[in-house]
Amino acid sequence: MMKHVNKCLIALLILCFVACERKPDPQAEKDPVNHVPKKSDAASLTGQPLYSPAPSDELVKKRDQRKRDFETDPDNPDKLIWYGRFVAYAGDYKGAIAIFEKGAKQFPNDARMLRHAGHRYISIRKFDKAIEVLERATELIQGKENEIEPDGMPNSQNIPVSTLHGNIWYHLGLAYYLKHDFENALRAYEKCLATADRPDNVVSATHWIYMINRRMGREQAAKDCLDQIKLKMDVIENMGYHQCCCFYKGLIKLEDLESSIKDGLPREAIDYAIGNWFLYNGQNEKARKRFDSLTSNGSWNAFGFIAAESDLASGAAK
């Protein structure tokens, strides 16, 4: 009788152990169809799973159309790029990277493949890989004429404001910045600024150049880089960066910069700029609180969010 009870207890313990092993991650999102834990789209720098919001029906239609366009003409690099871009817009960054990496093998001299792969490696926090592919992209564009990069999500004026060369240097600078390699980040952003032929490009590159110089303790160099910044500039997309640069130059006050978030400008870029301002002005506690708030409430794929996450993970904001 005792042996039978012991066997039952052992069997019950095994069942409990298996059940515990199969228990899904309570933080994991559920697949709405199969009701099973959804695989994360990325992981934060502290190892937490990150999930993209479900894309809109309209975005899904556009992505699927881009896929069909590519499948009917798989040797067309433009169609491959647009397919990959819309896969990324829908939140599948790893899927987009696979498409761009495939394109890099199929079209080894096309820097656009590496430019877009590098961007999405940053999204999933693979900074070393982003640097690797973007440095290769800089080699491919040497001696080649720059070109306008078409917008996947057009701005209000339907005017593309960025270029291939500018985007390669911009994302390379960001990848180095996120690793706190400020020397290489500055090198890349100065190259990026040299390609700028529109106010949008000027303010975006200057924003990072200013912050990098301040993080390196180069206050005069930071001040000097603001020479091109004016309160009134014909900025179409990067109004948040423009406001930040105006704040750095003393053209607007901190409360004006904070108020611009309420006016609809991107919270992540401005919140990070303010937190960073506190950091290099010795107000570390204010910086940490700002970064904590940003990484608790912001969009995890935004560059300002990733930068705040990097500073928190590295202990820069202690």
Mean pLDDT of the chain: 90
- What's the pLDDT tens digit per position in 18-40? 333 333 333 344 443 334 456 89
- What's the pLDDT tens digit per position in 258-310? 999 888 888 999 999 999 999 999 999 999 999 999 999 999 999 999 999 99
CB 308 within 8 A of CB 294: yes
Distances (CA, A) of 158 to 14, 62, 82, 150, 198: 62, 18, 17, 10, 15
Distances (CA, A) of 63 to 33, 119, 263: 20, 18, 31
The residue written with tokens 């993080």 in the block is 215
d(CA 148, CA 86): 19
| H or E element at residue 25 | none
d(CA 161, CA 146): 13
Q: Which parts of the chain sit beneath pLDDT 70?
A: 1-38
User: What pLDDT, on a 0 to 100 scale, did the predictor assign at position 153?
Assistant: 81
d(CA 269, CA 293): 13
Expressed in angstroms, the distance from the first to the final Cα of the chain is: 63
Report yes or no on whether pTM surpasses 0.85: yes
% of the chain beyond a pLDDT of 90? 81
User: What pLDDT, on a 0 to 100 scale, did the predictor assign at position 38?
Assistant: 66
User: What pLDDT, on a 0 to 100 scale, did the predictor assign at position 157?
Assistant: 86
Q: What is the CA radius of gyration of the chain?
A: 23
User: What pLDDT, on a 0 to 100 scale, did the predictor assign at position 263?
Assistant: 82
Cross-strand partners of 314? none
Residue 76 backbone dihedrals phi, psi, to 5 degrees: -100, 110
Distances (CA, A) of 32 to 29, 35, 38, 43, 118: 9, 6, 9, 21, 31
CB 213 within 8 A of CB 226: no
